[in-house]
Amino acid sequence: MRKNILFTSAATLAVSASLPALAQDEEEQFDSQREQIIVTASPIDRTVGETILSTSVISQDEIQRRLENSIGETLRRQPGVSSTFFGPGASRPVIRGLGGDRISVLDSGIGTIDASATSPDHAVAVEPATAQRVEIVRGTGMLLYGSSAAGGVVNVFNGRIPSEVPEGRIDGAVRIGASTVDDGFDAAGGFDLELGEFGDGSLVFHGEGFYREAEDYDIPGFAESAILRAMEEEEEEEEEEGEEEVFGTVENSAFETKGGAVGLSWVFDNGFFGVSGTAIDTDYGVPGGHGHGHEEEEEEEEEEEEGGVTIDLKQRRLDLNGEVESDFAFFRKAKIRLGYADYEHAEIEPSGEVGTLFTNEGWEGRLELIDKPMDVLGGELNGAVGFQFKLRDFSAIGEEAFVPPTDTTQFGVFALKELSYGPWRFELGGRYERTTHEVQETGFEREFDGFSISGGIGVTPTENVFLGVTAFRTERAPSTEELFSNGPHLATNAFEVGNPAFDEEVATGVEGTVRFNGETFNITINGFYTSYKDFIFEAPTGAEEDELPVFQFFAQDATFRGFEAQLEAELFRFGDFDVHGDAAFDYVRATTDVSGNDNLPRIPPVSGLIGLEARSKMVDLRAELEFAGEQNDIADFELPTDDYQVFNAFVTLRPFQGAQNLAVQVAGNNLTDEDMRLHTSFLKDLAPLPGRNVKVSLYGSF
């Protein structure tokens, strides 16, 4: 029985080495968001309220509330963020309408070293259930993180390498729960343990593990959108006799994920140094009804096996992380990150045969040196310099290999300076980057030299107000896929074609930020405008190759503009409850500079979230309205997407007084059971988001 598992199977389980108290003092909780130190937007320690760039910190309890199988779906409701949603198994963040290689997903400051940017059906090799916090930088992150961060950065911090000694020598956390929409089961746990003293510090061991599985998820109606079904009826492309349209369930959307990590760190008075090893295995279906053959095999359709493409993904990863705060030469602090990963995933046909095998063996490292503060003309000068490198040996082997095996090397150096005069702050930064792509079989090579610069001004005219503006010019090297794609990719049902003659993509833009932080409410508004020269994007051409629609990469001048707005407020007190309200809205418009239809494909519509929350020591209650507008500004060969409005509700119980780190949460998502489709998804007309879902979870820390 699908629905009797609510309390007996299931779950979305989250783990970390240190779970925050679940019932902070309300005023402290309200203030903590604006005071959190962020490290992704700048190596110079700044709080969220001090950063000129649009930056958000997603706390651990918010991650637990929104936890999904992928990082893209977990973050989808953040302002300015959508996802590529290719089913529960694969979903990557989209920021301000930009995705793929322009959004850098980091694992504690180092890239995920997977194949997720290659195609939307490829999962991100990072586990959201073990995240302690996530930092999102909207807008370009080119200066610090290179070409793959041209549109933004998502940095997932997992704590696998401890940077502090746990209080009482050991701490940890566990979460278990259940979900109804997919009969999911999930379990995970983690801990930090002080092993003992070593030299002038202590050795700290970290361990964690997680497991998650789910069946095909339920939907409120047909898998195909009403618009697509109407088109098929008009074109008289009716189903073959004996076949029925999929209703009530998205077929081939089941998944199983498991993994774990161990870490060992030496923590001393002025820093830490540690290593970790991580393993992730996941098997997931690719929904959308993509078949297994496109050549002679299709003549034997009656003998085809049921099912669809599935993906078997494995990654083995080693990381090194260290920080030392000590004066040396012109610097006061050094940070080093180094990661190595051996990644592969097989796209398996319904027959059980491997259609394509993707492998990616890569190294990535970065070194940051933080300047000592200096007095300059009555102000304080801070800064940092850094070096970053990436090495990638990527291959796709099989009948549907659409990208040739390629070696990629990337080296970058960057510098940032910040000058503060009273309420004023001036920032200037630059980066030089060399990227080389070489096709292994032919030796064909492309080299790109990119120069990027950014400058910003921030001012705090009053204690509660911050104003900031940033201008930038960046150069992004094309990715391997944009250059060399030329073949069928059945998982996405497309014949993908790149262009090896592409030059750098140049972006020039400006972004403004306004923040007001009052005693009882916060307001943040970000506006942006970016003009691109030779913006590279993938779009259908209307042609077919090997009985697949052709999707080609184009380079055209383009413009992106839009905004995000957030409001948080303490409203009133009712009995033991503090009542809070929040609202978030975002909008982006993206067009090319061509005559005729100038709309870019897969741009999200206006969207938002309005919430009301009541908090007490024993119970937290939250209700929210989530909505997205219809998207009619569509590219050629793209279908419009309907709007939706859904209700979500959350109840958190802490039943034992004095045991505030033990809680039960009941979460209801899409309670109105609406048909929700993401315009940013290639599968939007074949697979909607899940229908009504109730999750029950138990979590605690020690």
> What does the pLDDT read at residue 136?
95
> What does the pLDDT read at residue 34?
53
Q: Is the pLDDT of residue 11 over 90?
A: no
Mean pLDDT over residues 638-663, rounded?
Answer: 90
pLDDT-derived band at 643, boundaries 50, 70, 90: very high
Task: Give tens-digit pLDDT for 100-136.
Answer: 999 999 999 999 999 999 989 999 999 898 888 999 9
Secondary element (H or E) of residue 103 = strand 103-107
Separation between Cα atoms, residue 114 and residue 125, nearest integer Å? 6
Q: Which residues of 112-200 form beta strands (DSSP E)?
A: 133-138, 152-157, 170-179, 185-198
Mean pLDDT over residues 318-338, rounded?
Answer: 95
Q: Is the pLDDT of residue 236 over 70?
A: no
> What does the pLDDT read at residue 5?
34
> What does the pLDDT read at residue 294?
41
Separation between Cα atoms, residue 97 and residue 605, nearest integer Å? 9
Q: Is the pLDDT of residue 201 over 80?
A: yes
Separation between Cα atoms, residue 274 and residue 267, nearest integer Å? 8
Mean pLDDT over residues 221-248, rounded?
Answer: 77
Mean pLDDT over residues 201-228, rounded?
Answer: 96
> What does the pLDDT read at residue 241?
47
Task: Give tens-digit pLDDT for 174-190.
Answer: 999 899 999 999 998 99
Do residues 412 and 387 touch, judged by C-beta distance below 8 A? yes
In percent, the amount of the chain with pLDDT more than 90 equals: 75
> What does the pLDDT read at residue 49?
78
Mean pLDDT over residues 519-538, rounded?
Answer: 96
CA 322, 328, 333, 336 dihedral sign is: negative
Q: Is the pLDDT of residue 234 over 80?
A: no
Angle at the Cα of 260 (from 258 to 264), degrees rounded to 5? 175
Q: Bigger pLDDT: 235 or 185?
A: 185
Q: What is the Cβ-side half-sphere exposure of residue 213, based on CA atoms within 13 angstroms?
A: 4
Q: Is the pLDDT of residue 209 over 60?
A: yes
Separation between Cα atoms, residue 80 and residue 94, nearest integer Å? 8
> What does the pLDDT read at residue 243?
53
User: DSSP assignment of 484-538, as one string?
Assistant: H-EEEEGGGTEEEE--TT---EEEEEEEEEEEEE-SSEEEEEEEEEEEEEEEEEE
Angle at the Cα of 492 (from 489 to 496), degrees rounded to 5? 45
Task: Give tens-digit pLDDT for 587-607.
Answer: 999 999 988 899 999 999 999
pLDDT-derived band at 38, boundaries 50, 70, 90: confident
Q: Is the pLDDT of residue 616 over 70?
A: yes
Secondary element (H or E) of residue 34 = helix 26-35
> What does the pLDDT read at residue 293?
42
Q: Give the highest mean pLDDT range of 29-33, 493-497, 615-619, 644-648.
A: 644-648
pLDDT-derived band at 308, boundaries 50, 70, 90: confident
**pTM for this predicted structure:** 0.91
Angle at the Cα of 164 (from 162 to 168), degrees rounded to 5? 110
Question: Rounded mean pLDDT of the chain?
Answer: 89
> What does the pLDDT read at residue 351?
86
Q: Is the pLDDT of residue 167 over 70?
A: yes
| Residue 195: exposure state from Cβ atoms within 10 A (0-12, 13-18, ≥19) | exposed
In percent, the amount of the chain with pLDDT more than 70 equals: 91
Torsion of CA 158, 163, 165, 171, to 10 degrees: 0
Secondary element (H or E) of residue 347 = strand 331-348
Task: Give tens-digit pLDDT for 552-568.
Answer: 999 999 999 999 999 99
Main-chain phi, psi angles of 261, to 5 degrees? -155, 150
Which of 145-154, 256-265, 442-451, 482-491 comes out lowest in average pLDDT?
482-491
Q: Is the pLDDT of residue 15 over 60?
A: no
Map residue 288 onto helix, strand or coil: coil
> What does the pLDDT read at residue 33?
52
Count of residues in the chain? 702
Q: Is the pLDDT of residue 429 over 90?
A: yes
How far are the Cα atoms of 18, 53, 109 from residue 38, in angstroms, in the given order? 18, 11, 12
Separation between Cα atoms, residue 503 and residue 450, nearest integer Å? 10
> What does the pLDDT read at residue 65?
87
DSSP state of 452: E
Which of 17-31, 39-53, 353-367, 518-532 comes out lowest in average pLDDT?
17-31
Task: Give tens-digit pLDDT for 371-412.
Answer: 999 998 889 999 999 999 999 999 999 877 899 999 999 999
Within its chain, how far is the Cα of 650 from the centroid? 23
pLDDT-derived band at 29, boundaries 50, 70, 90: very low
Q: In CATH, which superfamily holds the domain spanning 26-238+246-290+309-701?
A: TonB-dependent receptor, beta-barrel domain (2.40.170.20)
Name the token pair of 213.
Answer: 């599985």
Q: Is the pLDDT of residue 687 over 80?
A: yes
